[in-house]
Structure 1
């Protein structure tokens, strides 16, 4: 396990390698699963790909191993209740020239600081990784409730003024500075707060695929402590 502090705000990101004992079981499940587009995909918003329901036991298997770690490393109160919010298998499938404006920029999953994203890579390092970002004009790296309105107002102006290139996020650009990067690695788990500005970083069209064996397959879990 590695603990990484990203950016000037020193937000914690946990990286755990060789996480599942038999990750190939999850890949085999994905090969048999029915994938469908994410909500808002037709409008060029949200996750740029397709999803399938994770196995019934997926969340409980992960949190059996992770609950104590997440509580300790993120200083979560002992009495906070763990709640499973969403669990899916995902594949990036939208070509770069079809991306909507919001899909070309870093995003945050929620402004609620109690929600955590758990990303399990079921693909190798040729599929890039996950980048973390600072918004240049505000300096924000995590979008908390007291920041969200100001951040969105700034983005509305900037995205209309500066036409972002039709490509997935990668290195720093005119509006965002990449402050951290976790490479993809088969069976690597990455845990971070859902309010961090982040994005999938891909290296080539290889990662844009409907095939679980060849594409950028990930298992994603969102949990909260309330």
Structure 2
């Protein structure tokens, strides 16, 4: 499923673990796009994770194979020692800017409820040809942790943030500074520390489409792991 001889690059993110970038990630990416098209009716929105569109779980076999790649090529760069859990799913961003929940207008982290010594990582595989639909950007808060936490709690409760902009976050604002952007490329995978604030770089939302063959289709992976001892 995955390239057995990947060319792995490490993109620096200031003050953070690097972003691991792998081009030509899947051996047959078009087959996964075709799978998404065939299963389009089974995609569903999960209101608990605030992804701006429907998703489809890919099952444990795919998740375990993704974890094998993570173990072999990625975990050391992200400070991981042993995987605790892993999940993989297809995702299709479809929401127009005027329908976004306040929390979806901000960057976020994938590290809720982490126990001491446990870390989080995420993977995104871009499965669309039009790079204008956007890659992924990383951010750092510009205010004290308490102020950032208040902002996120208010957004979670549905209060519009005063961070500027009514759509997808694509640039620095009063609360977050954009520190790195990884452009999208068909069959490019990125792996990153889930404790870094990040957001999809959707600067052209008019291009989003509900057809997996035409829209911003991605394969997303989520890992929980035991951190490596210092």
Unmatched 5+ stretches in structure 2: 1-7
Task: Decide whether the 8 Å contact of 1:92 with 1:207 is kept in 2.
Answer: no
CA contact (8 A) 1:104 1:164 kept: no
Tell me the residue number matched to 2:77: 73
Displacement of 1:156 in angstroms is 4.7
Scaled by the length of structure 2, the TM-score of the pair is 0.81
Unaligned runs of 5+ in 1: 139-146
Distance in 1 (alpha carbons) for counterparts of 2:73 and 2:161: 43
Aligned pair 1:6/2:6, yes or no? no
Deviation readout 1:136-195 (Å, 9 max, x if unpaired):
113xxxxxxxx6x66312545797672632110101122211000001111111001111
Structure 1 segments of 4+ aligned residues over 3 angstroms from their partners: 154-161
With over 3 angstroms needed to count, the CA separation of the structure-2 counterparts of 1:83 and 1:157, relative to structure 1, is closer
Distance 1:68 1:166, change over 3 A: same
How far apart, in 1, do the equivalents of 2:78 and 2:161 lie?
37
Q: Tell me what 2:26 maps to.
A: 20
Residue 201 of structure 1, CA deviation? 0.9
* Equivalent position of 1:103 in the other structure: 104
Q: 1:38 aligns with which of 46, 66, 79?
A: 46
Whole-Å separation in 1 of the counterparts to 2:174 and 2:132: 26
Q: Distance in 2 between matches of 1:106 and 1:161?
A: 12
The two structures, once aligned, show a CA RMSD in angstroms of 2.3
Aligned pair count?
209
Q: Is the 8 A contact 1:29 1:55 kept in 2?
A: no
